[in-house]
Structure 1
Amino acid sequence: MHVRSEADEARFQVDATIRKNGTARTEAPPAAEPSPGDASPPGWAEHVAAIGQHLARLAEVRVDRARHAIAKQIAFVLGMLLAFLVLAVFCGYGAVLFARGLAGTLGALAGDRPWIGELGAGLALLLGTAALGRLAWVLRERRELARKLREYGHDEHE
């Protein structure tokens, strides 16, 4: 027969306690600690709820402002698009009337030959358009050069 030593007896007791309680502790579990909310000053939860409501209202206001700004921008863009469309139609109609008048004038000067007037008017309008395009290009290049000189600090006299 086997006699248990004190160390064997202690191990046996610990193993039995672990099987019974799921832990090696033999003392009672500590008392439940108060939650942070219980240790807070009274009315704390109401203040946090009120702050949450204010933040939600602030978010709603900002979303409404963003929606209004977007709607305003869309209305502006559509209005400008309509204005440019009307302007383009008027300019196109004016160009047609100008071309017809120029063609008639050149045709009358050419001895009642309308095809010479139409050809001359077309050529004059094409050359005028090209000249205006070139002028716009040169002016844009000059503005760009002046901006670069200002940006990089070069003096015009250098």
Structure 2
Amino acid sequence: MPRWKKITILVFSYRVTFGEVPLDTDQNDEICNVISVIEEKCEAELKQLFAEGEKHDVVHRMKEIWNNDRNEDTQQYERDQSKNKTGRKCNRWSEVTIRITLAVYAHSPAGYDALKSSNILQLPSRSTLQSYTGAFLHQPHANHDSISEQVAQYLLHCHQRKQEGKEESQ
């Protein structure tokens, strides 16, 4: 007769939900300022886009998309602030936060440093920003050390060919 063993299987279920993250007044003001600057600086472009949309009878949809994107970006930024509030070095940042931070950093690196050090907002580090821009890969001018090294190698190669009785490289 077969022996049966009783097996107990535990099943765990969990669900992660994102709720609204309450911002203090400074953070809320900062987000509002960023949105208003975008709307002010790009007002002419927005009007031009909406005028083009009116020609094709899609202006209502364009305005709806703009408002949705603006609200979604704000919500994503708030999620990043909540998720990365510990200040650890292994934070993960959304594209929205990177774009906002790059805009601040490009406008004023000193302003970025002041915001980051004030701990009002959690911001990506300089190295994270540099990895997105590629700024750490090379300087904007020619690398004279590398050029000098390559010329020296070429001259050494030509000298060795002469000593071996071969024609000089062209």
Structure 2 length-normalised TM: 0.24
More helix by share: 1
Is the radius of gyration larger for structure 1 or structure 2? 1
TM-score of the two chains, using structure 1 as the length reference: 0.25
